[in-house]
Structure 1
Amino acid sequence: MNSTIYFIRKAHLPKRNNRGYGYIFDDQNPYELQTYKLKEIEYAIFYDDRHYCCTNKLSNFIDGYLIPFFFDEVYHYKHITIYRRAPNIKINGVYKATYNFIYDIVDPAKWSLNEQGGDIKAILEHNGHKKVVQLFDNNEFESVQMTDWFNKQGSGTIELYFESTEIEEQVSLRLESNSETGPYICIKSSKFMYYNGNQFITICDAQKDTFNHLRIDFECGNKTYEGLNQDEFFLYINDIKYGPFIFSEDINTVNRFVIGTSSGFKDNSVYIDAVGYSWKGNYNIGDNKQEIATG
């Protein structure tokens, strides 16, 4: 179902225009409005498969997050479905981030996807996290990869939650620009490792089937971001600081973040959640450790 317009019956507020319904979202920030108005809703009426004054972002939010977690279907007739707000709503596992994927139904929006070796999609929940991205690799000769492009950055911090069900075959996280790679981090042979341009060097042991909170501080120039020298980075794994480590190659700036599997990685998955960039105005370092309160 692609819900694209809706009316909300307000249980305890005055009727609007004597018609007894009103809107609870706008097209810009539907999630933020939902968090404090949801308790006022008794019933929701959704018009299916139509696009009346509704952005794709809002439509995806309704289908991919609002309905699965907050409403029970009561009645469906032709293009209209009536829902009742589920009782005792309290959703955990949604985190503040540049990308927390709550607006994504299938493909993670704004990321470039390479699915030659499998499938990449947003799923409802995994391992205590709601709305995460799954990279499923089912081909030992190909890989899957997701890439986010952004304006050139000389230094900064990236944070995310990262889990792999396979830790023997390589899965990597890289910061790149053009054909060059700066910080190159991976899991393989049951270890977190980094590549220094010549060889992979062990950082610490890795565990599968568990979310790790990762933080990458990087400095491409001479501004000594977080105390780093040129072409160096720190890696925090679950708040433990490692490094500084040197880049894979000398690089002046980075403009993309790449997460991908490798050949040999087969019939296993990587899970990503709550990706945050320090240079984005709506994100501060550490924000993705905070759940967004609902209920």
Structure 2
Amino acid sequence: MWSIGELAERAGVTVKTVRFYSDRGLLPEAARSAGGHRRYGPDALDRLRLIRSLRTLGLPVTEVGRVLDRDDALEDAVAGRLREVGSQLTALRWREAALQLLGDCTVEERAERLRLIGAIDTPPSTAALARFWRRTLPARFPARLAAKVLDAAVPQPPAEPTPAQVLIFARLHALVSGPCHRAVDCRPVFLLPDAEYRPAVLYEGLAEAYALASADLRARRPPRGGEALDCFVSAYAASRGTRDTPAFRRRLPGLLPPGADPVIARYWELTAELRAPSSGPAEPTAGAAHSWLCAALKTRTGRPAPAPDGRTP
């Protein structure tokens, strides 16, 4: 049996450390001496070394206690700690890139960049972007479809950003965080004021059309007729309770927005820049797919299509 001092010496720690873990129940004593002093058996040394290893990995005392009590708790504890460390590393990479961005700019650019960077967290949150898109969705829109829209429209911040990506995301955040760009309502009106349509039907169809058009965009095909355009037109027709006919196709350009929304157009431009890989073409955004389909509609109907911006009704 060892005294608290002997155990501390064998473990290479202070008596205060041994007492701290003992008082919290992590290092049970084996007995007490006649004078009331703590005594520890040989197994206490292995347990103390394990405690120190877990604490070195950053596990809090409460988590260490769970690992000691349950054989299967270590895996969960390590996974949780890895997530925490990953978040910390991402935050540090964003700060590093932001500092590089400020260090490489001119004096004239510095004030604006400080304002933009100061408005975002590190790592940044996408909550403002999600709120922006929720404002555009129709009332009583199905939650399942809303989640799909947000997944497609809200870009995830890169874990290892370049200084340029930090600036792009900061500008994107500033764009959606400003006051509503419409005097009355932030929700767009994409069909004629007297039009009645089923938003859920429209969005379901457009998601499929955008996916098909993205394949054409990746292949660098010019706007054209085909499966993607058929799906695009059918989505609008079905949402209005009608069929895809030549007459409807000639009419559809007039039902689409009369011009590009500058805020949305800028949103998709910044999103494409943020998602652009270091090499190779970027994955097409929903805005790019919408633009391609509107141009394809124009080529097939012979009617001027509106300058599209990629936002659906």
More relative contact order, 1 or 2 (CA 8 Å, 6+ apart): 1
TM value normalised by structure 1: 0.22
Which structure dedicates a bigger proportion of its chain to strand? 1
Which structure dedicates a bigger proportion of its chain to helix? 2
Structure with the greater alpha carbon radius of gyration: 2
